[in-house]
Chains A and B, each alone.
Chain A
Amino acid sequence: MIQALVTAATAEARPQDAIVRRPIKQKRDWAKWGLAIYFVLFLVFLYAPMILMGILSFQGPYGQLTFPFKGPMGLDWWRALIDENLPTYHAADIRIAAKNSLYLSLAAGAMVAFLSFTLSMAFRRRWRLRSDVAGFYLIMLALMTPGYLLAVGTQLFWAKLGWDTSIWKTALEAAVVWGIPFGFLVMIAVWNRYEKGVEEAARDLGADKKRTFREVTLPLVWTGIFGAFLFGFTLAWNDYDRTILFQNAATDTLPLTIGGFTFTGAIRPDLYALGTATTLFSLFVIALLLVVAGIRMRFAGRGAVHRVEEELGVAEELHVSETPEREAT
Chain B
Amino acid sequence: MSSSSGGERQQLDIEELERAEEVIEQKPPKAEAALARQEQGEKGGGWLTAAWAAPGLLFLAFYLIVPLVFIVLVSFWTYQTGAKFGFVTDWTFENYSQVFQDRVYWDNMWSSFYRSLIAVFASLLFGFPIAYFLALKVNTLRNQIALFIIALAPFWTSSLTRSIAWTFPLTGREGAINKLGDMLGLWSPDDPLIEPLSATSVTIAMVQLYILFMVTPLFFTLSQVDRTAIEAARDLGGNWWRTFREVILPQVMPGVVIGSIFVFVLTMGEYGTVRLVGGNAVTSVGTIVNSQVELAVQYPQGAASAVLLVGALIVGVFVITRFSNLREDL
Which A residues are within 8 Å of any B CB, using their own CB?
A: 29, 31-32, 35-36, 38-39, 42-43, 45-50, 52-53, 55-56, 65-68, 114-116, 118-119, 121-123, 125, 127, 133, 135, 138-139, 141-150, 152-154, 156-157, 159-160, 173-174, 176-177, 180, 234, 237-238, 240-241, 244-245, 254-255, 258-259, 262-263, 267, 271-272, 275, 278-279, 282-283, 285-286, 290, 308-309, 312-316
Contact = CB atoms under 8 A, between A and B. Distances in A.
A145 B169 contact: no
A282 B158 contact: yes
Contacts of B160: 238, 240, 255, 258-259
A286 B130 contact: no
Contacts of A145: 64, 68, 269, 310
A244 B159 CA distance: 14
B105 interface: no
27 contacts: A31-B137, A35-B132, A47-B154, A50-B154, A53-B164, A53-B168, A66-B174, A118-B53, A122-B49, A122-B50, A135-B53, A141-B64, A145-B310, A146-B271, A146-B286, A146-B313, A148-B271, A152-B306, A156-B71, A156-B85, A238-B160, A238-B161, A245-B294, A262-B276, A275-B165, A278-B161, A286-B149
Given A46-B154, A174-B63, A153 B68 contact: yes
Contacts of A180: 56, 59-60
Contacts, number: 259
Nearest to A234: B156
B60 to A, nearest CB: 6
Query: Which of B70, B74, B173 gathers most chain A CB within 10 Å?
Result: B70
A66 B168 contact: yes
A153 to B, nearest CB: 3
Nearest to B38: A125
Contacts of B144: 314
Contacts of B293: 152, 245
Contacts of B317: 144
Interface residues of B, number: 86
A211 to B, nearest CB: 16
Given A42-B126, A313-B220, A314-B141, A238 B158 contact: yes
Interface string B216-240: 0001100100000000000000000
A234 B174 CA distance: 32
Interface of B: 39, 41, 49-50, 52-57, 59-60, 63-68, 70-71, 74, 85, 126, 129-130, 132-134, 137, 141, 144-145, 147-151, 153-154, 156-162, 164-166, 168-170, 172-176, 179, 208, 211, 219-220, 223, 261, 265, 268-272, 275-276, 286, 289-290, 293-294, 299, 302-303, 306, 309-310, 313, 317, 327
A234 B155 CA distance: 10
Contact of B170 (A48, A263, A275, A309): A48
A159 B86 CA distance: 11
A160 B59 contact: no
Given A35-B132, A53-B164, A180-B60, A255 B158 contact: yes
Contacts of A123: 53
B302 A159 contact: no
B269 to A, nearest CB: 2
A52 B174 CA distance: 13
Contacts of B174: 65-67
A252 B278 CA distance: 24
Given A153-B306, A154-B63, 12 more contacts: A49-B169, A49-B208, A52-B176, A119-B53, A122-B49, A122-B50, A142-B60, A149-B71, A238-B157, A258-B161, A259-B160, A275-B161
Ranked 8 nearest A-B pairs via Cβ: A146-B269, A153-B67, A122-B53, A119-B56, A49-B165, A66-B174, A238-B158, A122-B52
A138 B85 contact: no
A149 B269 contact: yes
A177 B220 CA distance: 24
B56 A160 contact: no
A118 B156 contact: no
Contacts of A254: 158
Contacts of A316: 141
A254 B74 CA distance: 31
Contacts of B219: 314
A159 B71 CA distance: 12
B328 to A, nearest CB: 11
B269 A177 contact: no
Nearest to A256: B160
Contact of A147 (B41, B57, B151, B269): B269
A36 B64 contact: no
B268 A146 contact: yes
Contacts of A259: 160, 272, 276
Nearest to B127: A42
B145 A312 contact: yes
Given A42-B126, A283-B153, A150 B68 contact: yes
B313 A144 contact: yes
A146 B309 contact: yes
Nearest to B61: A138
Given A49-B170, A150-B68, A241-B272, A258 B60 contact: no
